[in-house]
Amino acid sequence: MKYTNPVVKGFYPDPSVCSANGKYYMVCSSFQYFPGVPLFESPDLVNWTQIGYVLTRENQVMLDKINSSGGVFAPTIRYNGGRFYMVTTNDTTRQNFYVYTDDIYGEWSDPVYVDQGGIDPSLFFEDGKTYFMSNGLDDEGRSGVIQCEINIETGEKLSKSICIWQGSGGRYLESPHMYKINGSYYLMAAEGGTEYGHMITYARADSVWGEFVGYAGNPVLTNRNKAPYLIQGIGHGDLIRDKNGDWHILCLGFRQIHMWMPYHNLGREVFLIPVKFSADGWFTAGRDGTAEYEYEIKGDFEQKEKKLYTFKNTSWKIDWCHLRRPDFDNYEFYDDSIVLHGSGITLDDADSPAFIALRQRDFEFELSVRLSVDGGEAGVTCYMCEDEHYDIALRKSPEGTEAVLKLNIGGIKHIENTVELSSDSAVLIVRGDNFRYNFYAASQGSEIYLGSGNTKYLTSEVSGGFTGVMLGLYSIGRNSASFSDFSCNYK
């Protein structure tokens, strides 16, 4: 059957995948958002359903007051001996750790720390031994992909950390993953930085310790010279074999807002790319080493895409997330509504305001929600980070209640428009496309246009960092804000 990329839309970067019990499981980076590390399940590598998060308790990861794009980097998921392992980095504390579970639908363990530096850690299991690898410096100060043997029960190092490969020459060598295929060891990595020069490279060896010889055709997958083209940033992938014996790479990539405008606001998304092994044991990926929108895959199934998100058809604990270390005393969850109790913390702070959000999953959408507020300010935000976000809100004024549009770019806080309303409640509406977010307030049967903001200012090219736009509900100030009748409909 034919499928279309990305197979998971929106800010779900750094995918890692494993197979177990006839299904596939994937994790992605979450940075400053809590719960951490979204967890997906799929029967076919194309249709993915989020089933929860890995890091669901505050003692599993420190996110308190961290900057945007800090926190949880590049997880790897592996299955061995009936147990799932997720290994990752808290880049803010500079700690590598893993957690585990015997029930993929249940809770994960407390963290087990490994005394090896670098980021993007991974695990490889063979013959009762566990190898831990990351990028960074080995015990002799040599940089590259670093590996040691560990005790999987305790995280204790059982060998020195040794540099086993230094890549193909691209900058920012990262994302190492080890595989054993037909008796050979394959080490796949990313180079070039998670931007327009991003690429996947790999090497092969006869031993888990090397010597690793790079593929002569590296990079095996990249869109760095594929221009003008909407898919860019292809890299940071994980290799997986499907039920038919065919190989694929699940990797990240991003979609530009327009062919001639190199900006991306949806974050880094998940792409599925076919892999072919040749008789000599080397593999190629994609079409001539590049990623396309459409491919064919064996199987009798249909790619499905959810277009409408509401309070009723989403789960507060699965689809939605919060900033950093939320105070759940500020949240009242109901089946078809939510009440947020504001505090002195705002969206401009590297902290935890009363905030709950979904990832923006496509360029064209319409979001609406009915809001009533008894003080302070509450509303809807298109949120990239604390310095870049657009907010449409209700707040109390001397005359009653006003709708306000605020555009925050580069730390410059601008009030674009305010309109007095004749009611204490209104429907707030955001209509987005590739180029603009347009903001409206509907009250007493009348829809009022408040203004717009360019999408390109809520992008990694402007804001920096590694996340994507979140469509959030928020409340600030000492108040209670009630949200109901929520819908986010993608075109």
Helix, coil or strand: residue 463: helix
Which pair of structure tokens corresponds to residue 289? 């080493």
With beta carbons less than 8 A apart as the criterion, state whether 53 and 107 touch: no
Nearest to 164 by CA among 182, 139, 183, 130: 139
| Separation of alpha carbons 247 and 267, rounded Å | 26
Hey, what's the torsion of the CAs at 80, 81, 83, 87, to 10 degrees? Answer: -30
Helix, coil or strand: residue 59: helix
Give strand ranges (E) for 223-330.
Answer: 231-241, 247-255, 269-277, 283-285, 294-296, 308-310, 322-323
The CA distances from residue 120 to 68, 133, 223, 465, in Å, are: 18, 8, 22, 16
Which pair of structure tokens corresponds to residue 72? 């949880």
> Taking the alpha carbons of 449, 454, 458, 463 in that order, is the dihedral positive or negative?
negative
Question: Which residues form the catalytic set?
Answer: 14, 174
| Separation of alpha carbons 385 and 398, rounded Å | 31
H/E run at residue 461: helix 460-463
> How does DSSP assign 118-136, residue by residue?
SEEEEEEEETTEEEEEEEE
| Separation of alpha carbons 44 and 22, rounded Å | 9
CA angle 258, 384, 366 (to 5 degrees): 65
| Separation of alpha carbons 239 and 258, rounded Å | 30
Question: Helices (DSSP H) in 41-190: which residue ranges?
Answer: none
| Separation of alpha carbons 189 and 449, rounded Å | 48
The CA distances from residue 325 to 71, 87, 139, 222, 383, in Å, are: 11, 21, 35, 36, 17
